[in-house]
Structure 1
Amino acid sequence: MDIVIRPVQTEEYEELGEITARAYLDDGLLDFGESDSYLGELRDVAKRAAAAEVLVAEERGRLLGGVTFVPDGGPMADIAGPGEAEIRMLAVDRAGRGRGAGEALVRACVERARALGCERMVLSTQASMHAAHRIYERLGFVRTPERDWNPVPHLDDLTLLTYELTL
């Protein structure tokens, strides 16, 4: 398996947006399905790429997934503060799962954060994202329940779990 991690190219924005949206939809991670307002954010790779670094995992010319790397509490950050980098919107196409693409994307983010001199890498995840939790924990991330938060306060059951990795 030869998975390459690299920055997304402009002509791949639509494809990566669909991979990301499909991953969240197919895994039942959006409360309102196709009408969920967050779906537009997931599909809008151009917006993410303008404010952060969007990376893709590619194997033999085929996109397997992507992630948004937010350096040093940048404008796309949900929870990162000064000295922290954040991982957002990690998604791997269903057909590409179980092959190391997700872990390779997370490792690339960690390497970038270290190179920038960040103190910590942080992220938010849904409680049902068990495969992602296994990746984070395998790479040394630890739960930070004191940072858990709810992006949609009127939905009590949407508390996001947080993790951090001290760099």
Structure 2
Amino acid sequence: MADLIIRPATEADLPAVGSVTVEAYQVDGFVGAHDDYARILADAAARHREAEVLVAADDTGAVLGTVTVVLPGTPYAEISQPGELEFRMLAVSSAARGRGVGEALVRAVIDRARSAGIGRVVLSSSEKMLAAHRLYERLGFTRLPERDWMPLPDVKLKAYAYGMPL
């Protein structure tokens, strides 16, 4: 998308970041409106304080998608280890799907890792997020099954990694 701008979220973006994230997860059936995780997804301000939140915006400034970038040992880190960058909560509004927004955000995370001298990007993804898995695999991510985990008894997360030459 030529008119797509990937940039750090601003305070003014945070309500849209929370809305886009919750909407994306709800549309795909991964959360209900009153789930605890939906409240976490909606709280973009907390993520903004503890991690780097990126947005994909169109030329009018409308937030089309978002991703949260975290370092190991920080509050939003789940599976990252030293020498890795992790991303979470990748979300694209349903109206913007199929336009390369998710891919642009993942590429931005990879670029951030590369420019910081970090050689590996990791993530966890619900086993049900098949479209996301296709995107990650197309971009060169590989499965990291030894880091699969279950935050809840009925929620299995698959781990992926992208390694790059520095």
* TM-score normalised over the length of structure 2: 0.93
Contact 1:73 1:84 (8 Å CA) reproduced: no
CA distance in 2, matches of 1:107, 1:139: 8
- 8 Å CA contact 1:103, 1:135 repeated in 2: yes
Q: What is the match of residue 117 of structure 2? A: 117
Q: Distance in 1 between matches of 2:160 and 2:91?
A: 17
Do residues 130 (structure 1) and 130 (structure 2) align?
yes
Offset from partner CA, 1:1-56 (integer Å, 9 cap, x none): 321100111011111101100111111112xx122111111011111011111000
Give the structure 1 partner of residue 142 of structure 2: 142
Q: Which runs of 5+ in 2 are unaligned?
A: none
The C-alpha deviation readout for 1:68-102, integer Å capped at 9, x for no partner, is 01134433101101111101000000000000000
- Residue 130 of structure 1 aligns with an amino acid whose one-letter code is L
Counterparts of 1:103-114 in structure 2, within 5 Å, are 103-114=103-114
Identity %, equivalent residues: 51
Contact kept, 8 Å, 1:80 with 1:86, in 2: the verdict is: yes
Corresponding residue for residue 46 of structure 1: 45
The one-letter code matched in structure 1 to 2:150 is N
Aligned-partner residue type, residue 144 of structure 1: L
1:127 and 1:161 in contact (8 A); partners too:
yes
Match of 2:159 among 154, 157, 162: 162
Q: Relative to structure 1, is the Cα distance of residues 109 and 73 closer, same or farther in structure 2, using a 3 angstrom cutoff?
A: farther
1:79-118 equivalent positions in 2, closer than 5 A? 79-118=79-118
**For structure 1, which segment, 128-137 or 142-151, has the greater mean C-alpha deviation from structure 2 after superposition?**
128-137
Per the TM alignment, residue 138 of structure 1 is displaced from its structure 2 partner at its CA by 1.2
Question: Runs ≥4 in structure 1, deviation > 2 angstroms?
Answer: 71-75
Match of 1:5 in 2: 6
Residue 29 of structure 2 corresponds to: 28
* Cα separation, 2, equivalents of 1:96 and 1:46: 23
TM-score normalised by length of structure 1: 0.93
1:72/1:118 contact within 8 Å kept: no
Q: Secondary structure at the match of 1:76?
A: coil
* C-alpha distance after superposition, 1:128-164 (max 9, x if no partner): 2122111111111001111100112xx2x31101100
Distance 2:109 2:28 in 1: 23
Give the Cα separation in 1 of the matches to 2:65 and 2:95.
Answer: 10
Contact residue 85 and residue 122 of structure 1 kept, 8 A: yes
Question: Does the residue aligned with 1:17 lie in a helix, a strand or coil?
Answer: helix
How many residue pairs match? The answer is 162
